[in-house]
Amino acid sequence: MFKKALHFILIVTIFCLIGCRSDSPASGASKSPGRETKSSGRETTTSRQVHVIPAVEETVTRGTTVTGTLAAEDQVVLSFKIAGRLSELAVDLGSRVQQGQMIAQLDPTDARLHLQQAEAALQQARARLGLALDGTLDRIDPERTPVVRQARAMLKEAQRNYERDAGLWDEQLIARTELDTAATTLQVAEGRYQDAIEEVRIRQAVLSERRSELEIARQQLLDSTLKAPIEGAVRQRHASAGEFLAAGAPIVTIVRTHPLRLRLSVPERVAVSVGFGQPVHIKVEADPTIYEGRVVRLSPAISEEDRTLPVEAEVPNEHGRLRPGAFAQAEIITAAEERAVFVPASAIVTFAGIDKVLTVHDGMSVEKHVQIGRRDDDRVEIIKGIHPGELVVTAPGNLLGGQPVSVRR
Is CATH 2.40.420.20 what the domain over 49-59+339-407 is classified as, yes or no? yes
Q: For domain 64-73+256-336, give the CATH superfamily.
A: Efflux pump adaptor protein, beta barrel domain (2.40.30.170)
**Averaged pLDDT of the chain:** 85
Predicted local distance difference test score (pLDDT) of residue 16: 47
Tell which residue, 163, 190, 192, has the closest CA to residue 179. 163
- 74-106+224-255: CATH class: mainly beta
For the four alpha carbons of 127, 130, 135 and 137, in that order, the dihedral sign comes to negative
- SS3 per residue for 166-218: HHHHHCCCCCHHHHHHHHHHHHHHHHHHHHHHHHHHHHHHHHHHHHHHHHHHH
Count the Cβ atoms, other than its own, within 10 Å of residue 128: 17
| Sequential DSSP letters for 27-67 | HHHHHHHHHHHHHHHHHHH--EEE-EEE-EEEEEEEEEEEE
Compute the distance between CA of residue 281 and CA of residue 288 in angstroms, rounded to an integer.
12
Range list of β-strands (E), 285-370: 287-298, 308-315, 327-344, 349-351, 354-361, 364-369
β pairing state of 405-407 and 48-50:
parallel
Residue ranges covered by each domain of the chain: 49-59+339-407, 64-73+256-336, 74-106+224-255, 108-222
What pTM was estimated for this model as a whole? 0.59
Long-range CB contacts (within 8 A, 24+) of 186-189: 186/155, 186/158, 186/159, 186/161, 186/162, 188/158, 189/151, 189/154, 189/155, 189/157, 189/158, 189/159
Nearest CA-CA partner of 326 in 315, 310, 341: 315
pLDDT digits (tens, 9 = 90+) for 155-169: 999 999 999 999 988
pLDDT exceeds 90 at position 381:
no
Please check the confidence at residue 12 and state whether its pLDDT lies above 70.
Answer: no
Q: Residue 9: which pLDDT band, with cuts at 50, 70 and 90? A: low
pLDDT score at 144: 84
What tens digit of pLDDT does each residue of 223-257 get?
999 999 999 999 999 999 999 999 999 999 999 98
Residues in the chain: 409
